[in-house]
Amino acid sequence: MEIGGEYLEILGSSILMTDYLEYSNALFREGLLDGQFIQLQMLRDDSNPDFVVEVVTLFFEDSQRILNELSKTLDEQNVDFKKIDANVHQLKGSSSSIGAQRVRNACIAFRSFCDAQDVESYGFCFFVLFPDQMCLRCLQQVKQEYLLVKNKLEALLRLEQQIVAAGGVVPTLNDVS
Amino acid sequence: MGCEMESDQPEDLDVVLTSMWPEDMNEAGRQFNVERPGGDQDMLEEVTINKEPNIVDFQRLMELTNYSDKGNWQLAKLVKNWEFKQANVVRLLKEELDQLSKQQQEVELKKLEILEEHRFEKDGYGGDKRPISILDENLRYLYQDAPKRRKDDVVSQGEIVAIDAEYDSVVYWKQRAMHLEKLLEASLQREQVLVEKLQESIESLERQSTPVEELSQVLKRADNFLHFVLQNAPVVIGHQDKDMRYRFIFNHFPTLGEQDIIGKTDVEIFTGAGVKESQDFKKEVLERGLPAKREITFETELFGSKTFLIYVEPVFSKAGETIGVNYMGMEVTDQVRKREKMAKLREEIAVQKAKETELNKTIHITEETMRAKQMLATMSHEIRSPLSGVVSMTEILATTNLDKEQRQLLKVMLSSGDLVLQLINDILDLSKVESGVMKLEAAKFRPREVVKHVLQTAAASLQKLLTLEGHVAEDVPIEVIGDVLRIRQILTNLISNAIKFTHEGKVGINLYVVPEPSDVNEHGSEKKSRDQSTLSANTNGNGHADNSPSCEESELNDTSCDQNGDQMDQDKESRMKAEERIVWIRCDVYDTGIGIPEHAMSTLFKKYMQVGADTARKYGGTGLGLAICKQLVELMGGYLTVSSVEQHGSTFTFVLPYKVSSASDSDDTEELSDTYQLGDDGYDDDLNSGVFLFPPRTLGTLFSSQINGRIPKLLPNSYGNNCNDLLEDSPLPCSNKEGTSEEGSDSSGGAMETASSVPDIDNIRPVAQQEQETASECSSTNRTGVEKSETKQHKILLVEDNKINIMVAKSMTKQLGYAIDVVSNGAEAVKALQRSSYHLILMDVCMPVMDGLQATRLIRSFEETGSWDEAVKAGVEMETTSHQSCSTSQVEETRKRVPIVAMTANTVSESADECYANGMDSFVSKPITLQSLKQCLQRYLV
- Asked whether the beta carbons of residue A89 and residue B846 sit closer than 8 angstroms, the reply is yes
Q: How confident is the model at residue B325 (pLDDT cuts 50, 70, 90)?
A: confident
Question: With contacts defined as CB-CB under 8 Å, which chain B residues touch A45?
Answer: 815
Any A CB within 8 A of B437 CB: yes
Pairing relationship of beta strands B900-904 and B922-925 according to DSSP bridges: parallel
pLDDT higher at B316 or B58 = B316
Subunit contact B905:A121, Cβ cutoff 8 A: no
Given pLDDT bands bounded at 50, 70 and 90, which one contains residue B774? very low
Chain-wide mean pLDDT for chain B? 69
| Structure confidence at residue B818 as a pLDDT band (50, 70, 90) | confident
- In whole angstroms, what is the distance from residue B860 CA to residue B866 CA? 9
Q: Which amino acid is at A29?
A: R
Taken in order B105, B110, B115, B120, is the CA torsion positive or negative? positive
Domain annotation covers residue A19: yes
Whether residue A49 lies inside any domain: the answer is no
Contacts of A89 in chain B (CB under 8 A): 846
B361 touches chain A (CB under 8 A): no
- Quick one: which of B367, B411, B417, B345 has its CA closest to B388? B417
Task: Give the nearest chain A residue to B904 (CA atoms).
Answer: A93
Higher pLDDT, B336 or B252: B336
Dihedral, CA of residue B543, residue B547, residue B548 and residue B549, to nearest 10: 180
Let me know if residue A111 belongs to a domain: yes
- In B, minimum Cα distance to A90 occurs at B802
The per-residue pLDDT for B343 is: 92
Please state the rounded mean pLDDT for residues A53-71.
90
Residue B345 has pLDDT above 90, yes or no: yes
DSSP string, B142-211: HHTTS-HHHHHHHHHHHHHHHHHGGGS-HHHHHHHHHHHHHHHHHHHHHHHHHHHHHHHHHHHHHHSPPH
**Residue A75: inside a domain, yes or no?**
yes
Can you tell me the distance from the alpha carbon of B545 to that of A36, in angstroms, rounded to the nearest whole number?
Answer: 61
Task: Tell me how close the Cα of B489 comes to any Cα of chain A, in angstroms.
Answer: 21
Q: Do A93 and B385 touch (CB under 8 A)?
A: no
- What residues of A are in contact with residue B751 (Cβ under 8 Å)? none
Question: For A19-40, what is the mean pLDDT?
Answer: 84
Rg (CA), chain B: 63
Cβ contact B926–A96 (<8 Å): yes
Residue-wise pLDDT for B239-276, tens only, equals 888 888 888 888 766 667 777 778 888 888 878 888 88
Q: pLDDT value at position B305?
A: 83
Residue A172 lies in a domain: no
Torsion of CA B327, B330, B331, B336, to 10 degrees: -110
What does the pLDDT average to over B113-128? Answer: 61
Beta-bridge partner residues of B589: B509, B652
Query: B378 vs A94: CB contact, 8 Å cut-off?
Result: no
- CB nearest B385 (choices: A34, A45, A112): A112
H-helix or E-strand spanning residue B300: strand B292-300
**Which residue numbers of A have CB closer than 8 Å to B's CBs?**
34-36, 39-40, 42-43, 45, 48, 51, 54-55, 58-59, 62, 86, 89-90, 92-94, 96-99, 104-105, 108-109, 111-112, 115-116, 119-125, 175, 177
Q: Give the residue from A92, A96, A128, A129 with the most B CB atoms within 10 Å of its CB, the best one to mutate.
A: A96
Of A86, A98, A122, the CB nearest to B381: A122
CB atoms A43 and B381 under 8 Å: no
Q: What is the 3-state secondary structure (H, E, C) of B828-896?
A: HHHHHHHHCCCCEEEEECCCCCCCHHHHHHHHHHHHHHCCCHHHHHCCCCCCHHHHHCCCHHHHHHHCC
Q: Is B802 on the interface with A (CB under 8 A)?
A: yes
**B810 touches A: beta carbon within 8 Å:** no
Distance CA B517, CA B525 (A): 16
Q: How many domains does chain A have?
A: 1
CB B807 to CB A58 under 8 A? yes
pLDDT for B102 equals 92
Residues of A in contact with B802 (CB under 8 A): 90, 93-94, 97
Whether pLDDT at B15 is above 70: no
Question: B804 and A59: CB-CB below 8 Å?
Answer: yes
* Radius of gyration of chain A, Cα coordinates, nearest whole angstrom: 20
| pLDDT attached to residue B458 | 80
Per-residue pLDDT band for B682 (boundaries 50, 70, 90) equals very low
For residue range B857-879, list pLDDT tens digits in order.
888 888 888 778 777 877 777 76
When pLDDT is cut at 50, 70 and 90, the band that residue B25 belongs to is very low
CA B389 to chain CA centroid, nearest Å = 49
pLDDT recorded at residue A140:
86
Concatenating the DSSP letter of every residue in B608-662 gives: T--S-HHHHHHH---S-HHHHHHHHHHHTT-EEEEEEETTTEEEEEEEEEEEEEH
Residue A74 vs residue B150, higher pLDDT: A74
Confidence band, pLDDT 50/70/90 cuts, at residue B212: confident
Mean pLDDT of all residues in B556-584: 51
CB contact under 8 A, B432 and A125: no
Nearest CA in chain B to A111: B385
Shortest CA gap A50–chain B (Å): 12
Segment B533-556 shows an average pLDDT of 38
Asked, for residue A97, whether it belongs to a domain, the answer is: yes
Question: What percent of chain A is modeled with pLDDT above 90?
Answer: 6
Higher-confidence position of B644 and B756: B644
B469, containing H or E segment: strand B466-472
Count of A-B CB contacts under 8 Å: 102
Contacts of A177 in chain B (CB under 8 A): 397, 400
Provide the shortest C-alpha distance from residue B773 to chain A (in Å).
Answer: 28
Buried b / exposed e along B145-172 (16+ C-beta atoms within 10 A): ebbeebbeebeeebeebbebbeebeeee
Is B389–A108 a contact, with Cβ atoms under 8 angstroms apart? yes
| Contact call for B803 and A94, based on CB within 8 A | yes
Q: Cα–Cα–Cα angle for A19, A20, A26, nearest 5°?
A: 90
B927 touches A at CB < 8 Å: yes
Where does the pLDDT of residue B926 fall: very low under 50, low under 70, confident under 90, or very high at 90 and above?
confident
Residue B234: its pLDDT value, please?
81
- Of A134-143, B456-465, B527-536, B930-939, the range with the lowest mean pLDDT is B527-536
Beta carbons of B802 and A93 less than 8 Å apart: yes
Query: If pLDDT is split at 50, 70 and 90, which confidence band does B504 have?
Result: confident
Q: Is B349 exposed, middle or buried (0-12, 13-18, 19+ CB in 10 A)?
A: exposed
Whether chain A has a CB inside 8 Å of the CB on B808: the answer is yes
pLDDT over threshold 70, residue B616 = no
For residue A114, is it within any domain?
yes
Q: Is residue A34 part of a domain?
A: yes
pLDDT of B908: 53
Query: How many Cα neighbours within 13 Å face the side chain of B144?
Result: 4
As a whole number of angstroms, the distance between CA B89 and CA B204 comes to 12
**B-chain residues near A111 (CB < 8 A):** 385, 907
- Name the residue of chain B whose CA is nearest to A54's CA: B807
Contact: B381, A45; criterion CB under 8 Å: no
**What's the rounded Cα separation, in Å, for the pair B710 and B703?**
15
Q: What pLDDT, on the 0 to 100 scale, is given for residue B344?
A: 92
CATH number of residue A87's parent domain: 1.20.120.160
- Rounded to 5°, the CA angle B366-B370-B374 comes to 170
Put simply, the answer to whether B397 touches A177 (Cβ < 8 Å) is yes
Please list every residue in chain A whose beta carbon sits closer than 8 Å to the beta carbon of residue B398: none
Tell me which of B99-103, B425-429, B882-886 is least confident: B882-886
Contact A97 B804 (CB under 8 A): yes
B801, B815, B927: residue with CB nearest A36: B927
Task: State the smallest CA–CA distance between residue B444 and chain A in angstroms.
Answer: 25
The answer to whether the CB of B150 falls within 8 A of the CB of B143 is: yes
- Domain span at residue A82 reads 5-43+55-165
Q: What is the pLDDT of residues A104-114, one digit of tens each?
A: 888 887 877 66
Cβ of residue B392 closer than 8 Å to a chain A Cβ: no
pTM of the entire predicted model: 0.34
Of the pLDDT bands very low, low, confident and very high (cuts 50, 70, 90), residue B445 is: confident
Among partner residues A86, A96, A123, which is closest to B848 by beta-carbon distance?
A86
* B905:A99 CB<8 A: no
Residue B53 near residue B251 (C-beta atoms within 8 A): yes
